[in-house]
Amino acid sequence: MTVTEVDLGRYQSPFYPRQAEIDRLNRWHEWKGYSSADGFYDTTLEYFATRNSAGAFDITPMTKYRITGPDALDFLDRLVTRNMRKIKPGRVAYAVWCDDGGHVIDDGTIFHLQEGEYRLCSQERHMAWFKAAAIGMDVTIVDETEEICGLALQGPTSFSILNELGLSGIDQLRPFGLANYDFNGTDIMVSRTGFTGDLGYELWITNDRAIELWDALFEAGKHFGIMAMGTAALEHARIEAGFLAPFEEFLPAHTTVRTGRARSPLELGLEWLVDFSKPCFNGRRALLDEKKNGSTWRLVKLDIEGNKEAHQAFIFPKKNGGKECGFVTSAMWSPVCKQNIALGTVRTPHGNVGDKLWVEIYYQREMHWSRVMAEATVVDKPFWDPPRKRSTPPEPY
């Protein structure tokens, strides 16, 4: 018997041949076994493309499951904290799923493709958990990560580009909607979703058509400022949008070693995703207890004075001395908001909206380190929240 050894190198996305052509930076990192670019031309310009015109980001390495069968809805509804019965075909739901202790295992998007058929996309891999959760249900779960590729097209001109691409009816696609469109004679699935907090879409297609999609998209976008975009730019956009990233704002519960390092949805500001009126979902009892007794942690959005980025900073309730009450998980100077922003996690009761906290920032200038205590205000809304994100049809260019 001859066994083919598993691939020892990094996977290349089906878009890789085109990415390699345009790449000037030669800065790649690993994302779930794939080579993924930090950036292609200039990470600053790529970031601005998502806020000013459009950035195309390769989301192929996302873990993707196809969930089908008569019990698919029951399975998902029991799995996640959100009420999946409200998510009709043609809609997409952001959701989290928890372990029995109410700790978040992961977050992801669930696409209701058609009656009884779903796609779930997440950062991490979950076949073991899903199979266990599916015991006794008539549901089929297939990992289609390596069959389906995806491109996120994000930014104000993204709608005009898809229009130019000839996706008739794309103007009617609402936020968190999905639909199939004719693309060169066959279907392409497009959802109005993304990780930038701006107007944007995700396009999903089988691997064999990746190059065809890339070429058509960049041709359609040539007068609309389309730019390929790497992870560095996306990371900035997602912080401005106030979105959580696994391993930054939370750890998938199954990966934690130390007690108390996992987080509940309530602690992550995701109570709106938890529907206690559902009779059963995993973690319900624990979350009900937490709701009654209070959470330990709270995720906060911080608007920090000055312009020194608060990377890895401790957060204090008072300016001078005292014990810290939390730490920053993601920080940046926001070029579009012109604000010094951060996401952080603090112990309750600290971190109510409007609270003033203090962030201890270390910054380096010409080898020497300096320290500043900067006042930080806890804010409610995403830092970047343009109305175009919500408007249907979106404004054309």
Q: Which residues bind other proteins (CB under 8 A)?
A: 24, 41-42, 44-45, 48, 51-53, 156-157, 160, 164, 223-225, 306-307, 333, 335-339, 365, 370, 397
- The per-residue DSSP string of 213-280 comes to HHHHHHHHTTTTTEEE--HHHHHHHHHHHT---BTTTB--GGG--STT-S--TTTTT-GGG--TTSS-
Tokens, residue 187: 């279907």
* Cα(375)–Cα(306) distance, integer angstroms: 9
| Closer by beta carbon to other proteins, 191 or else 339 | 339
Q: How far is the CB of 98 from other proteins (least distance, A)?
A: 36
| Closer by beta carbon to other proteins, 23 or else 99 | 23
| Closer by beta carbon to other proteins, 155 or else 351 | 155
Instruction: Sort 87 into a burial class: Cβ within 10 Å, 0-12 / 13-18 / 19+.
Output: buried
Say which residues have a Cβ less than 8 Å from residue 39's Cβ, sequence separation at least 6. Answer: 25, 27, 46, 229, 230, 231, 232, 233
Q: How far is the CB of 38 from other proteins (least distance, A)?
A: 14
Q: How far is the CB of 157 from other proteins (least distance, A)?
A: 5
| Closer by beta carbon to other proteins, 67 or else 304 | 304
Q: Is the peptide bond before 279 cis (omega within 30 degrees of 0)?
A: no
| Closer by beta carbon to other proteins, 11 or else 224 | 224
Q: How far is the CB of 156 from other proteins (least distance, A)?
A: 7
| Closer by beta carbon to other proteins, 20 or else 137 | 20
Q: How far is the CB of 306 from other proteins (least distance, A)?
A: 6
| Closer by beta carbon to other proteins, 42 or else 271 | 42
Q: How far is the CB of 370 from other proteins (least distance, A)?
A: 7
Type of residue at 292? K
> What count of other Cβ atoms lies within 10 Å of the Cβ of residue 280?
8
Sheet containing strand 186-191, edge to edge, reads: 178-183, 186-191, 200-206, 148-154, 54-58, 226-228
- The per-residue DSSP string of 52-106 comes to HSEEEEE-TTSEEEEEESTTHHHHHHHHBSS-GGG--TTBEEEEEEE-TTS-EEE
Q: How far is the CB of 365 from other proteins (least distance, A)?
A: 6
| Closer by beta carbon to other proteins, 40 or else 97 | 40
| Closer by beta carbon to other proteins, 323 or else 338 | 338
Q: What are the CB-based long-range contacts (under 8 Å, 24+) for 249-252?
A: 249/299, 249/329, 249/330, 249/343, 249/345, 250/104, 252/104, 252/105, 252/106, 252/123, 252/124
| Closer by beta carbon to other proteins, 2 or else 26 | 26
Q: How far is the CB of 311 from other proteins (least distance, A)?
A: 14
Say which residues have a Cβ less than 8 Å from residue 311's Cβ, sequence separation at least 6. Answer: 328, 331, 361
* Cα(14)–Cα(211) distance, integer angstroms: 7
In terms of Cα–Cα distance, which of 287, 272, 378, 363 is closest to 325? 378
| Closer by beta carbon to other proteins, 77 or else 235 | 235
Q: Is the peptide bond before 393 cis (omega within 30 degrees of 0)?
A: yes
Q: How far is the CB of 336 from other proteins (least distance, A)?
A: 6
* Cα(38)–Cα(207) distance, integer angstroms: 22
Q: Please tell me what DSSP assigns to residue 319.
A: S
Q: How far is the CB of 193 from other proteins (least distance, A)?
A: 22
Distance of CA 329 to the CA centre of its chain: 15
Q: How far is the CB of 200 from other proteins (least distance, A)?
A: 15
